């Protein structure tokens, strides 16, 4: 039986390691690479390598960035008294896109999940506590995901943060998406939105 040539097999295996790529997709991608021009393949390989080489972790907020401090932490116009805590750098970029938040961030690098062996020590929590202790922080906004792990992480941080006087700890709101029709919201979301309603 004819097997895949060894070089293709090697590439297929590499593609399969990526999230969301199964054996079939990996084969399709690998065979597509055989049709690409040499320069294109060079560029692709370089892009992979350079991304890894040129990226760093911001020494202040722990976000993945091309410099440290990252553009947000290095921006003198930012409000340094507010820190928004997120699970990963993509969450930070999502909040940045809204262009209405001018405080700082802190990227945890995940959420507490004992099943996956991720405890408080595996997250960038020590860095966060140091920042609160050393800088003039007045508010901590907990913007972890609304999953059981995200909630547990938020609660854990809230408990730690209560040791600091003068620090207000808030949790982002959960409920009906803006522009969403009530009738299409699922019951769990609706229930939550009702529970956390507020006077206007």
The 10 Å Cβ neighbour count of residue 33 is 15
**Rounded to 5 degrees, what are φ and ψ at 56?**
-145, 175
In this structure, what token pair is assigned to residue 17? 């390691």
Residue 199 found at the interface with other proteins (CB under 8 A): no
Of 119 and 177, CB closest to other proteins:
119
Displacement of CA 167 from its chain's centroid (Å): 24
Cα–Cα distance for residue pair 66/43, rounded to 1 Å: 19
Q: Give min distance, CB of 175 to other proteins, in A.
A: 15
Residue 125 found at the interface with other proteins (CB under 8 A): no
Of 95 and 185, CB closest to other proteins:
185
Residue 109 found at the interface with other proteins (CB under 8 A): no
Residue 188 found at the interface with other proteins (CB under 8 A): yes
Residue 152 found at the interface with other proteins (CB under 8 A): yes
Q: Give min distance, CB of 109 to other proteins, in A.
A: 17
Whose structure tokens read 């097999």? 9
Q: Give min distance, CB of 164 to other proteins, in A.
A: 18
Q: Are 126 and 139 in contact (CB under 8 A)?
A: no
82-86 and 64-65 as β-strands: parallel, antiparallel, unpaired? Answer: unpaired
Interface ranges with other proteins (CB under 8 A): 112-115, 119-120, 148-149, 151-153, 155-156, 159, 186-188, 191
């Amino acid at each position: 039986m004819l097997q895949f040539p060894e070089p293709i097999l090697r590439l297929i295996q590499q593609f399969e390691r990526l999230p969301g790529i199964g054996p079939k997709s990996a084969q399709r991608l690998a065979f597509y690479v055989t049709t690409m021009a040499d320069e294109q393949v060079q560029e692709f390989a370089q892009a992979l390598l350079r991304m890894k080489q040129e990226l760093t972790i911001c020494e202040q907020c722990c976000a993945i960035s091309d410099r440290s401090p990252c553009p947000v932490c290095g921006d003198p116009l930012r409000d340094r008294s507010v820190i928004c805590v997120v699970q990963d750098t993509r969450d930070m970029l999502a909040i940045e896109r809204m262009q209405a938040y001018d405080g700082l961030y802190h990227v945890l690098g995940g959420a507490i999940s004992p099943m996956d062996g991720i405890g408080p020590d595996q997250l960038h929590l020590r860095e966060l506590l140091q920042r609160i202790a050393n800088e003039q922080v007045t508010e901590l906004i907990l913007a972890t995901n609304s999953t059981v792990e995200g909630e547990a992480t938020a609660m854990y941080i809230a408990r730690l943060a209560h040791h600091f006087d003068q620090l207000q700890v808030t949790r982002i709101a959960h409920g009906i998406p803006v522009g969403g029709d009530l009738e299409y919201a699922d019951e769990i979301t609706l229930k939550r939105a009702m529970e956390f309603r507020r006077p206007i």
